[in-house]
């Protein structure tokens, strides 16, 4: 049997939650989790996400921080939340975005992989999707799911070290908005952005979103 | 002989009976939080605890009517339940929607009250010693009484000191001196009188609440003391409720009062051998002297035919001694003093004593309504830290930004009547700030989020200065800066929100909603993804409603994500049909959507007894939107 791939980003996120005493909850994986490349709603299932679900059936990270915490949708022997949400959400939004996506978690916004932008290994980039009351805003956040966990763990470290958070508990840093320096270290993500691969998805962005993109890419707006 | 004097401009008169024209130095502006109706505690919509223990289901949508088929059940481990017990409303009833708005308003008022209480509690407790402050109150009051009494030696003289007492906080309300007419008694040393008085500061001036009158009667070699603590009455607006831990009067206050008394009484002269009644007023705001006036200097006894005599400087000194403790009160008020001055044959100057001093309040500001009480309590709490002035107090104050103290910022703006100075020529800001205090506070809280961090800090810092030290404390450049920030507010509330601001406001809305509906807080934390906070009028149209707080209680509702997605879908359609809608169009669309989806609002489960699914509600809403908005797909 093939060894599941290493997930240093997920390991790091778990370690950060433990070290910073942030809430961390996981459920055991399904006996037969979805396999890489199997079809979900007609889309190839991301190999990195498949490795994640081979380890946990659901996970909650830093949810004691309210809206900035992050939840991996449940997919185990009892509940197929991730699969059902991808189907339901897809029916509602794929057409609007002109792009099918696999929904796998989120905070107040939805996080999804984009199969059409997969690399040669089949690894799919991750986007944050805000569909609140007609916003339809997409922000690219990682070149793959594990890299997202890595970036998110670094964001949590920055958030908790922020003087405003330390003094008052105020959460004034938002992912991915205030994490441009962290995201800029994801070279593959930056490459995709520079190549304009997210442009169609980000068609509803405004000037401030374009400035954000420029910051991640390390180029002037 | 008369003189007519005021701080603003005064002219020396010569002789005779005088009633000076009343120069007033009140800042312009209206009544603090005027026109408010008394707050009503909301009928609490109680959460019914879900049965079960660690795995209590707070939402059982698995397949019931209204649930999206296949959507996972929401399970909250260790949850306290979370189904609002409010009756489910039928759709399309404007009257019921209004009821919901009123209920939300009541919740908002309650939350503002709780925030004010928390701030007052923190001001009293964080980094300071309330017992130490109470001891300081005692020492200051003792020093006042002993100091004033030291100059009265005539046997039979009666001194009456009236305080409002609140848990050791002592606010002078009045002072009277009645001449005894007897012989000059033996000197009473200060420490002897102090020893006599000190027990009264344990009881009745200790921790009771109400008005306490201490009476001192001069005897041959001592002061006899008694008291009356039976008058309870209503707490005067200027009365402190928090003991202040300072040792004496700030030097700036002392100098201002001294200057006022010196100038005012310098203008008074008495005929040789004659007597006069002198009346002065001192205008105060918190601890600041904002104006004074010599109201009257009236002859009460003809002289013996000699020339006019000036008052001894001791008269002004005594007046200062009497007035200073009155500066410890709160808010705007007038202290009126009546002095009796006389010239005795053989003396170079006239002498005199304050016969009476008392606080006058504008009648409209007398009563403390609940809303006014919030502002008042917050102002006192913040003033306390400022008055105590220690480093920790300053640091503590600097942390109290608009988020925590919005009601204080708003109350101060309205109460101090600064609208004309700050907001002249602006349209939306004055309108927004002129609304009910909790509404205006919410607006300000959301509006300052649109300023940059530096602008927000500058706004808070400048406004704190105005509120604590008075508008006149601002330099010209600070005035310009503050005015500029109000102009910025006017502009930013008309600009569309960018995605980062939306993030901030959504986060703020979520936190606020948890305060409004504490029984849902745990579910909202655990299930942030499943339980979005819906803005009934969307954030993307906030700029079309510049006087409204987009995060107002009545604009927020939590509901299940799959239902929210249906609503979001409708707003996407609306955006396509009306890329640049008017405020009325957005308002109407929101009303239509509310009419169809309100049964799901404020619930973390699916309402029992729903007659249709969220998808069916969407189709019905879509139909209605199409009929109102041609071109709607």
- Biggest distance spanned by C-alpha atoms of chain B: 108
Query: Nearest to residue B567, comparing CAs of B579, B559, B578?
Result: B559
Q: Which residues of A touch B540 (CB under 8 A)?
A: 133-135
Residue of B nearest to A176 (CA): B500
Long-range contact set of residues A183-186: C-beta below 8 Å, sequence gap at least 24: A183/A141, A183/A142, A183/A151, A183/A216, A184/A215, A184/A216, A184/A217, A184/A218, A185/A151, A186/A142, A186/A143, A186/A147, A186/A151
Taking CB atoms and an 8 Å cutoff, what residues of chain B touch A80? 72
Residue B622 has pLDDT above 90, yes or no: yes
- Phi/psi at A140 (5° precision): -70, 135
The answer to whether the CB atoms of A88 and B71 lie below 8 A apart is yes
ipTM: 0.92
> How many angstroms separate the most distant Cα atoms in chain A?
51
Chain A residues with CB inside 8 Å of B534's CB? 133
pLDDT band, very low/low/confident/very high, at B42 (cuts 50, 70, 90): very low
Pick the more confident residue, A209 or B21: A209
Distance between CA atoms of residues B311 and B276, nearest Å? 11
B121 vs B109, B348, B388, B401, B623, CA distance in Å? Answer: 18, 56, 16, 16, 53
- What are B191's two structure tokens? 């420490």
Contacts of A87 in chain B (CB under 8 A): 70
Within its chain, how far is the Cα of A179 from the centroid? 13
This model's pTM is above 0.90? no
β-bridge pairing B332-342 and B351-360: antiparallel
A140 Cα to chain B: minimum distance (Å): 14
d(CA B261, CA B326) in angstroms, rounded, equals 14
Q: Count Cα atoms within 13 angstroms, Cβ side, for B550.
A: 30
Which residues are CB-neighbours of A163 under 8 A, at least 6 positions away? none
Answer whether A133 sits within 8 Å of B568, measured CB to CB. yes
Of B71, B507, B535, the CB nearest to A133: B535
Arithmetic mean of pLDDT, B56-74: 36
Nearest alpha-carbon partner for B239 in B176, B328, B322, B323: B328
- The shortest CB-CB distance from A133 to any of B499, B525, B540 is to B540
- When mean pLDDT is compared across A16-25, A157-166, B262-271, the lowest value belongs to A157-166
**pLDDT computed for residue B61 by the predictor:** 35
The token pair that represents B136 in the structure block:
């300081």
CA distance B440 to chain A (A): 22
Tell me if A74 and B72 make a contact (CB, 8 A cut-off): yes
Whether B562 and A88 lie within 8 Å, measured CB to CB = yes
Give me the residue from B503, B511, B566 closest to A66, CB to CB.
B511
Question: Does residue B204 have a cis bond before it (omega within 30 degrees)?
Answer: yes
What confidence tier does B79 reach under pLDDT thresholds 50, 70, 90? very low
| Helix axis angle, B499-516 to B437-448, nearest 10° | 150
Measure CB to CB from residue B529 to each of A107, A135, A170 and give the nearest one: A107
Contact B242, B123 (CB under 8 A): yes
**Orientation of helix B370-388 relative to helix B94-125, angle to 10°:** 30
CB within 8 Å: A84 and B534 = no
pLDDT of amino acid A44: 97
Is residue B10 within 8 Å of B4, Cβ to Cβ? yes
Q: How far is CA B154 from the centre of its chain?
A: 45
- Is the CB of B525 inside 8 Å of chain A's CB atoms? yes
Give DSSP secondary structure letters for B139-208: HHHHHHHHHHHHT--BTT-EEEEEEEEETTEEEEEEEEEE---SPBPPP--HHHHHHHHGGGGTTTSSS-
pLDDT > 70 fraction of chain B, expressed in percent and rounded: 80
Residues of A in contact with B503 (CB under 8 A): 174, 177
**Residue % of chain A over a pLDDT of 90:** 82
Contacts of B302 (CB under 8 A, 6+ apart): B271, B274
Cβ within 8 Å, pair B500-A64: no
Instruction: Write the residue in B532, B533, B540 that is nearest to A134 by C-beta.
Output: B540
- Decide: A139 and A202 in contact? Cβ < 8 Å: yes
- Give, in order, the Cα–Cα distances in Å from A212 to each of A131, A140, A157, A218: 19, 11, 21, 10
Residues A29-66: pLDDT tens digits? 999 999 998 999 999 999 999 999 999 999 999 988 86
Q: Is B412 left (phi over 0), alpha (psi -120 to 50) or beta?
A: alpha
Structure tokens belonging to residue B331: 């808010």
Q: What angle do CA B287, B291, B292 make, to 5 degrees?
A: 110
CB contact (8 A) between residue A66 and residue B68: no
CB contact under 8 A, B498 and A177: no
**With contacts defined as CB-CB under 8 Å, which chain B residues touch A180?**
none
Terminal alpha carbon distance of chain B: 88
Quick one: closest CA in A to B77, which residue? A25
Is B524's CB within 8 Å of A134's CB? no
pLDDT in tens, A76-91: 999 999 999 999 999 9
Rounded average pLDDT over B102-129 = 87
Nearest CA in chain A to B615: A92
For the stretch A104-123, pLDDT in tens is 999 889 999 999 999 999 99
Distance from CA of B550 to the nearest CA of A (A): 13
Contacts of A106 in chain B (CB under 8 A): 529
Least confident of A123-137, B71-85, B200-214: B71-85
Best of B404, B497, B503 to mutate (most A CBs within 10 Å, chain A): B503
Structure tokens at B462: 């400048």
Candidates A67, A84, A210: best to mutate against B (most CBs of B within 10 A) is A67
Task: Look up residue B139 and give its two tokens.
Answer: 């020492």
Q: How confident is the model at residue B579 (pLDDT cuts 50, 70, 90)?
A: very high
Closest CA to A50 of A36, A31, A30: A36
Does the pLDDT value for residue B518 go beyond 80? yes
Between CA A152 and CA A171 the distance in angstroms is: 15
Q: What is d(CA B523, CA A25) in angstroms, rounded to the nearest whole number? A: 15
**Nearest chain B CA: its distance from A1 CA (Å):** 32
- Answer whether B532 touches A (CB < 8 Å): yes
- Interchain CB distance below 8 Å, B529 and A106: yes
Instruction: Give the residue on A whose Cα is nearest the Cα of B514.
Output: A66
Instruction: For residue A84, give the nearest of B70, B514, B569 by CB distance.
Output: B70
Q: Is some CB atom of chain A closer than 8 A to the CB atom of B618? A: no
Match 């995605």 to its residue by tokens: B499
Query: Token pair for residue A122?
Result: 């089949």
Rounded distance between C-alpha atoms, residue B490 and residue B451, angstroms: 11
CB-based burial, B315-332: b 16+ in 10 Å, e otherwise: bbebbbbbbbbbbbbbbb
Distance from CA of A108 to the nearest CA of B (A): 5
Q: What is the mean pLDDT of chain B?
A: 80
How many angstroms separate the CA atoms of A2 and A14, rounded?
Answer: 24
d(C-alpha A198, C-alpha A201), whole Å: 5
CB distance A177–B499 less than 8 Å? yes
B150 by Cβ neighbours in 10 Å (0-12 / 13-18 / 19+) ranks as middle
For residue A86, CA distances in Å to A20, A95, B64, B198, B428 come to: 32, 13, 21, 77, 44
Torsion of CA A156, A159, A162, A167, to 10 degrees: -110
Q: What is the mean pLDDT of residues A184-199?
A: 96
C-alpha–C-alpha distance, residues B251 and B257, integer Å:
10
The neighbouring-strand residues paired with B289 are B284
pLDDT tops 80 at residue B52: no
| Residue among B532, B538, B565 minimizing CB distance to A92 | B565
Tell me how close the Cα of A30 comes to any Cα of chain B, in angstroms: 16
Distance of CA B484 to the CA centre of its chain: 24
- The confidence band for B368, taking pLDDT boundaries of 50, 70 and 90, is low
**Banded pLDDT at B181 (limits 50, 70, 90):** confident
Hey, which residues does B4 pair with through a beta bridge?
A: B11
Q: Do A107 and B528 touch (CB under 8 A)?
A: yes
Selected residues 382-401 of chain B with any CB under 8 Å from a CB in chain A: 399
Q: What percent of chain B has pLDDT over 90?
A: 47
User: Comparing B489 with B52, which gets the higher pLDDT?
Assistant: B489
* Shortest CA gap A57–chain B (Å): 14
Assigned token pair, B594 = 């509310």
> Over B444-490, what HEC string results?
HHHHHCCCCHHHHHHHHHHHHHHHHHCHHHCCHHHHHHHHHHHHHHH
Residues of chain B with C-beta less than 8 angstroms from the C-beta of A178? 500
Say how far apart CA B4 and CA B268 lie, in whole Å: 9
Confidence of residue B418 (pLDDT cuts 50, 70, 90): low
Q: Are A143 and A188 in contact (CB under 8 A)?
A: yes
The answer to whether the CB atoms of B562 and A170 lie below 8 A apart is no
Alpha-helical segments (H) within B273-351: 313-323
**Cβ separation B529–A168 shorter than 8 A:** no
Confidence of residue A3 (pLDDT cuts 50, 70, 90): low
Question: Above 90 in pLDDT, residue B55?
Answer: no
**What mean pLDDT do residues B183-187 have?**
84
Pairing of strands B158-166, B169-178: antiparallel
Closest partner residue to B529 (CB to CB) among A71, A134, A135 is A71
- CB contacts < 8 A, A to B, total 113
pLDDT (tens digit per residue) in B524-551: 887 888 899 999 999 999 999 999 999 9
Query: Any chain A CB within 8 A of the CB of B567?
Result: yes
Query: pLDDT at position B25, please?
Result: 34
B286: number of Cβ within 10 Å: 23
Over residues B259-288, the mean pLDDT reads 94
CB environment B514-540: b (16+ within 10 A), e (fewer):
bbbbebbbbbbbbbbbbbbbbbbbbbb
Q: How high is the pLDDT of residue A191? A: 96
Q: Which residues of B touch A107 (CB under 8 A)?
A: 528-529
| Whole-angstrom distance, CA of residue B61 vs CA of residue B116 | 39
Q: Is the pLDDT of residue B563 over 70?
A: yes
């Amino acid at each position: 049997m093939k060894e599941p791939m290493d997930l240093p980003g997920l390991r790091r996120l778990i370690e950060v939650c433990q070290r910073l005493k942030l809430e961390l909850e996981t459920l055991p994986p399904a006996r037969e989790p979805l396999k890489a490349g199997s079809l979900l709603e007609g889309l190839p299932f991301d190999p990195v996400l498949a490795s994640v679900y081979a380890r946990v059936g659901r996970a909650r990270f830093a949810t004691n921080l309210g809206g900035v915490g992050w939840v991996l949708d449940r997919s185990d022997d009892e509940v197929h939340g991730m699969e059902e949400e991808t189907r339901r959400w897809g029916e509602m939004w794929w057409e609007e975005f002109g792009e099918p996506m696999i929904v796998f978690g989120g905070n107040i916004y939805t996080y999804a992989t984009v199969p059409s932008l997969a690399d040669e290994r089949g690894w799919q980039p991750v986007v944050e999707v805000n569909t609140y009351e007609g916003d339809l805003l997409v922000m690219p956040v990682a070149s793959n799911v594990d890299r997202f966990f890595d970036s998110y763990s670094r964001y949590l470290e920055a958030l908790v070290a922020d003087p405003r958070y330390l003094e008052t508990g105020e959460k004034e840093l938002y992912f991915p908005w205030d994490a441009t320096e962290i995201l800029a270290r994801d070279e593959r993500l930056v490459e995709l952005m520079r190549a304009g691969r997210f442009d169609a998805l980000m068609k509803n962005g405004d000037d401030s979103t374009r400035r954000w993109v420029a910051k991640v890419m390390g180029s002037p707006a | 002989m008369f003189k007519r004097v005021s701080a603003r401009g005064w002219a020396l008169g010569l002789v005779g009976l005088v009633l000076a024209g009343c120069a007033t130095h009140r800042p312009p502006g209206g009544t603090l939080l005027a026109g408010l109706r008394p707050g009503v505690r909301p009928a609490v919509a109680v959460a019914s605890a879900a049965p079960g223990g660690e795995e209590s289901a707070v939402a059982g949508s698995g397949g019931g009517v209204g649930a999206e088929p296949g959507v996972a059940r929401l399970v909250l481990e260790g949850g306290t339940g979370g189904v609002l017990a409010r009756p489910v409303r039928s759709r399309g009833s404007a009257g019921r929607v209004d009821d919901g708005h009123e209920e939300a308003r009541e919740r908002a008022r309650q939350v503002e009250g709780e925030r004010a209480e928390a701030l007052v509690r923190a001001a009293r407790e964080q980094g300071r010693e309330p017992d130490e402050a109470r001891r300081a109150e005692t020492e200051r009051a003792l020093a006042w009484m002993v100091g004033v009494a030291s100059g009265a030696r005539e046997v039979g003289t009666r001194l009456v000191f009236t305080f409002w007492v609140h848990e050791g906080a002592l606010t002078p309300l009045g002072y009277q001196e009645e001449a005894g007419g007897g012989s000059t008694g033996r000197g009473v040393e200060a420490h002897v009188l102090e020893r006599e008085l000190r027990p009264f500061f344990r009881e009745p001036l200790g921790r009771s609440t109400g008005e306490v009158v201490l009476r001192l009667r001069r005897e041959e070699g001592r002061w006899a003391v008694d008291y009356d603590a039976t008058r309870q009455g209503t707490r005067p607006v200027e009365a402190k409720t928090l003991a202040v831990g300072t040792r004496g009067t700030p030097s700036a206050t002392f100098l201002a009062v001294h200057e006022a008394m010196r100038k005012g009484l310098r203008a008074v002269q008495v005929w040789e051998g004659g007597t006069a009644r002198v009346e002065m007023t001192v205008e105060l705001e918190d601890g600041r002297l904002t104006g004074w006036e010599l109201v009257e200097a009236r002859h009460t006894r003809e002289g013996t035919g000699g020339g006019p005599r000036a008052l001894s400087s001791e008269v002004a000194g005594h007046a200062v001694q009497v007035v200073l403790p009155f500066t410890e009160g709160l808010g705007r008020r007038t202290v009126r003093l009546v002095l009796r001055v006389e010239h005795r044959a053989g003396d170079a100057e006239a002498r005199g004593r304050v016969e009476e001093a008392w606080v006058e309040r504008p009648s409209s500001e007398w009563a403390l309504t609940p809303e006014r009480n919030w502002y008042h309590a917050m102002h006192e709490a913040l003033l306390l830290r400022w008055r105590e002035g220690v480093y920790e107090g300053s640091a503590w104050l600097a942390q109290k930004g608009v988020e925590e103290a919005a009601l204080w910022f708003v109350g101060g703006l309205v109460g101090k009547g600064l609208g004309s100075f700050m907001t002249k020529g602006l349209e939306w800001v004055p309108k927004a700030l002129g609304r009910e205090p909790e509404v205006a506070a919410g607006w300000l809280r959301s509006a300052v989020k649109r300023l940059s961090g530096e602008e927000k800090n500058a706004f808070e810092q400048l406004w704190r200065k105005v509120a604590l030290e008075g508008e006149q404390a601002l330099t010209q450049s600070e005035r310009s800066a503050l005015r500029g920030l109000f102009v910025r507010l006017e502009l930013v509330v008309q600009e569309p929100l960018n995605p980062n601001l939306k993030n901030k406001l959504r986060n703020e809305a979520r936190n606020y909603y948890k305060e409004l509906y504490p029984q849902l807080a745990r579910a909202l934390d655990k299930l942030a993804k499943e339980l979005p906070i819906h803005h009934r009028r969307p954030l993307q149209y906030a700029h079309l409603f510049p006087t409204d707080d987009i995060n107002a209680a009545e604009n927020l509702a939590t509901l299940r994500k799959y239902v929210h997605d249906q609503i979001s879908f409708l707003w996407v359609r609306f955006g396509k049909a009306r890329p640049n809608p008017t405020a009325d169009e957005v308002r109407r669309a929101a009303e239509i959507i509310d009419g169809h989806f309100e049964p799901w609002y404020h619930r973390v489960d699916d309402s029992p007894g729903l007659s249709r699914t969220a998808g069916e509600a969407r189709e019905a809403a879509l139909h209605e939107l199409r009929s109102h908005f041609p071109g709607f797909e």
